[in-house]
Amino acid sequence: MIEAAELRDRLAALGDGPEGVDRFAWTPELAAAEAWFGEQAAAAGMRVERDPAGSLWALPDGDGPWWATGSHLDSVRRGGRFDGPLGVAAGFAAAERLPGVAVIAFADEEGARFNTPTFGSRALVGRLDVPDVLARTDDDGVSLAAAMRAAGADPERLGEAPRWLERLRGFLELHIDQTRDLARAAAPAGAVRSLASRMRLAVELEGRADHAGTTRRDERRDALAAAARLVVAADELAEGDPDFLVTAARILVAPNAFTTVPAFVRLWIDGRTPDPERLEAWRAALGDRAAALEEATRVRIHLATASHTAGVAFDASVLAALGDLPGLVCFAGHDAGIVAERLPAGMVLVRNPTGVSHAPEEEVDLEDAAAGANALLAGLERLA
Ligand SMILES: [Zn+2]
Q: What are phi and psi of 321, to 5 degrees?
A: -65, -25
For ligand 1, a single-atom ion, which residues have Cβ within 5 Å?
Answer: 83-84
Entry pTM: 0.86
Distance from the alpha carbon of residue 71 to the mean position of ligand 1, in angstroms = 7
pLDDT more than 70, % of the chain:
100
pLDDT more than 90, % of the chain:
94
**Identity at 292, one-letter amino acid code:** A
Distance from the alpha carbon of residue 76 to the mean position of ligand 1, in angstroms = 9
Per-residue pLDDT tens digits for 212-243:
999 999 999 999 999 999 999 999 999 999 99
Residue 59 has, within 13 A of its CA and on its CB side, a CA count of 17
Contact 92, 103 (CB under 8 A): yes
Distance from the alpha carbon of residue 74 to the mean position of ligand 1, in angstroms = 8
Residue 123 has, within 13 A of its CA and on its CB side, a CA count of 28
Distance from the alpha carbon of residue 216 to the mean position of ligand 1, in angstroms = 50
Per-residue pLDDT tens digits for 183-194:
999 999 999 999
Distance from the alpha carbon of residue 234 to the mean position of ligand 1, in angstroms = 27
Q: How far is CA 160 from CA 99, 137, 156, in A?
A: 28, 22, 9
Distance from the alpha carbon of residue 249 to the mean position of ligand 1, in angstroms = 19
Q: What are phi and psi of 280, to 5 degrees?
A: -65, -45
Distance from the alpha carbon of residue 205 to the mean position of ligand 1, in angstroms = 33
Q: Say if residue 9's pLDDT is above 90.
A: yes
Give mean pLDDT, residues 106-126.
Answer: 95
Distance CA 128, CA 121 (A): 9
Q: What are phi and psi of 92, to 5 degrees?
A: -65, -35
